[in-house]
Amino acid sequence: MTLAAALTMLALTSFSLSWSSYPSRSTDTGSAEVTVLINEEDLIAVSTVAGGSLVSYEITATIDGEGFLRKGSRITDASFPISEVLAYDLLETGGHIVSVTLTDLESGAILSSEVEIFIDAANGTLWSSGGVRISPDGCVRASGCVSLFWNVYIPENEEEEYVPPVAYALLDRSTDVVREGWLTSEAREDRVISYSADVSLNGLEKGRYRFTVAALQGDSVVASSSSSILVLESWDMWGDDVDETKTLIRPIASTHEMRELERAGGLGDRNSVMSDFWARRDPNPATRENEYLDAYLLRLDRISRDFSTTGIRGINTDRGVVYAKMGEPDIVENFPFEIGYYPYITWQYFTPSLAVTFVDQDGYGYYEMVEGWNIVDRAFNAREGWSHD
């Protein structure tokens, strides 16, 4: 079995991928395994003559656009999740892209995604390590949690049983430490030790941070690595601060929903009201993610970044409210300087049809909408699937 160099879970339409790798040592190549985890909602079950249910699927995969692999099965009374392992050998040091497609042979439905895997280089005579990996990578909400994964490679002149302690620190732009702790050793095989840790980001301000990990031997650092992450603002979507939540959801909430939140008693009641609020908007309740909520959080990021003016939050501007309701316009036209006219911007949406104009009458970047709110509300209600009053 290969050593778990990283257990990076990627959310696909539903099925998921994880991977593990073994480093290159005396040669220039290593190996990896990619595990495809198929959930019950990924496949359509059909009845068999024996009265049981049958699922039938095929998995195809390539690595760096080559190395075509195919696996498939017909299973009666399948116990989900179903796990299929794709093995890759003779992989050069560095990153590789594995593309995976799952085909339901009963319905013809196709799901696909890809994952980047890494092969580290291990030095046989010196302490060395792979890069520290963060899941989820890229960016994460300040209300979320990330997992760290790191491999340390034991040199040949060191006892194989020795497991050095590994510390981590999360540093902000000023290099101040805002989180610190220890990683736990998860597995050891052939002079490779895998470490991991879960780190909460609650309470952090938005911005870019850097994780640094270090393996210690006495007072010396024998191996280290670092990686950066972008922390996005943690918007209060659950009524922890009722006034803040009301401000953030007002563009998309009905009068009845706002009253429900106002009448809720303690924090538990407000959380329950908001849980129902977002559940009504979830386009795919069968999945763990609420795609509408995720998209709305990204809208709030954009509104805060691009529509805020001196003393006025973006969500309280006309452009912020329209953007919260409708998202990115299909056409944006800017008219900053025209003789005899104030600077103005037009937004046009195709489905449903909506055109609005924002005018900056003072020249300070505060744009007010010309049209009445009734046309925006009408377009918003026509597109959304829940009731508004």
Note the pLDDT of residue 61. 96
CATH number for 168: 2.60.40.1220
Residue 113 and residue 13 share a domain = yes
Residue 250 and residue 353 share a domain = no
Asked whether the predicted pLDDT for residue 231 surpasses 60, the reply is yes
Residue 168 and residue 135 share a domain = yes
Of the residues 80, 100, 120, the one at which a domain ends: 120
Phi, psi of 299 (to 5 degrees): -65, -40
Of the residues 56, 86, 120, the one at which a domain ends: 120
Half-sphere exposure of 273 (CA within 13 A, CB side): 22
The verdict on residue 380 lying in a domain is yes
Q: Please give the residue range of the domain that contains residue 319.
A: 300-389
Question: Tens digit of pLDDT for each residue in 324-352?
Answer: 999 999 999 999 877 678 899 999 999 99
Residue 260 and residue 221 share a domain = no
Interhelix angle 291-306/267-281, nearest 10 degrees: 100
Question: Tens digit of pLDDT for each residue in 85-110?
Answer: 999 999 998 889 999 999 999 888 89
Split at pLDDT 50, 70, 90, the class of 179 is very high
Contacts of 132 (CB under 8 A, 6+ apart): 148, 149, 150, 168, 211, 212, 213, 225, 226, 227
The verdict on residue 292 lying in a domain is no
The verdict on residue 104 lying in a domain is yes
Asked whether the predicted pLDDT for residue 10 surpasses 70, the reply is no
The verdict on residue 291 lying in a domain is no
Residue 159 and residue 71 share a domain = no
The verdict on residue 288 lying in a domain is no
Of the residues 217, 250, 281, the one at which a domain ends: 281
Q: What is the pTM of this model?
A: 0.70
Closest Cα partner for 15 from 107, 139, 103? 103
Note the pLDDT of residue 9. 30
The verdict on residue 286 lying in a domain is no
| Highest averaged pLDDT of the listed ranges 132-141, 191-200, 360-369 | 191-200
Interhelix angle 242-249/267-281, nearest 10 degrees: 20
CATH number for 102: 2.60.40.10
Residue 108 and residue 15 share a domain = yes
The verdict on residue 95 lying in a domain is yes
Count of domains forming the chain: 4
